Amino acid sequence: MVNLIPQNAKRTVVIEYYVRVVTVWLWLLTAALLVLGILMFPVGLLVKLQLSALDASFEEAQAGSDAYQVSEKLIQESNALVQELVRVNTLQPVWDDVALIYSLVPKRVTISSVSLAREGGVVKKITVTGNAATRSDLATTRDILKANSRFTKVALPLSNLAKDVDLPFSVTLEVKQP
């Protein structure tokens, strides 16, 4: 077989052949990428929409979390204030009861101590100890304490009435609960 094509022309044909092959492959790659881009557009759009929805729900949850933290702090402060108020409120009647006992006892009776028995933060019993000048002063003290509506029961042991003068005594009072 005789090769009638000159060497320069042959070289040009081969170069044109490879340029055309590369061009066709590049066009095929471009078409494939274009088809892939078209197919990926709905997926990208869906992902973008879901991300924006998640961002909105995250911001909403963050706002709720901030509100929850503020509310939690306010509740803790309120609880501390309520505990202080309860503590002060339970102490105040104690002072009132002690002052009431001191005001009711006659001058000839001296009080040496007042003991309080609490149950569940509430004063249930009060024990008053001291000395009475006479047996009648002690009996009068018992009667005055019994007559007061704040106390439900006044217990004065008979052993406290053993002496006639300078009587040491111990009276147990049950406090009326509101």
**Residues 125 and 150: beta-carbon distance below 8 Å:** no
Q: What are phi and psi of 14, to 5 degrees?
A: -65, -45
Which pLDDT score, from 0 to 100, does residue 92 have? 56
The count of residues in the chain is 178
CATH fold group of domain 88-175: Gyrase A; domain 2 (3.30.1360)
Average pLDDT, consecutive stretches of 10 residues, N- to C-terminus, the chain (178 residues): 78 94 97 94 91 90 88 93 75 76 88 85 86 88 89 83 82 84
Bridge-partner residues for 175, per DSSP? 151
Q: What is the pLDDT of residue 24?
A: 97
CA–CA dist 121, 80 (Å, integer): 17
φ/ψ region of 121 (left if φ > 0, alpha if ψ in -120 to 50, else beta) reads left
CB 124, CB 174: distance < 8 Å? yes
Q: Does the predicted model carry a pTM greater than 0.75? A: no
Contact of 108 with 132, CB cutoff 8 Å: yes
Rounded CA gap, 128 and 113, in Å? 6
Report domain extents, the chain. 88-175
Q: What is the pLDDT of residue 40?
A: 92
Give which of 143, 147, 142, 115 is closest to 128, Cα–Cα.
Answer: 115
Instruction: Report yes or no: 131 and 169 within 8 Å, Cβ to Cβ.
Output: yes
Return the exposure string of 124-145: e unless at least 16 CB atoms fall within 10 Å of the residue's CB, then b: ebbebebbbeebebbebbbeeb
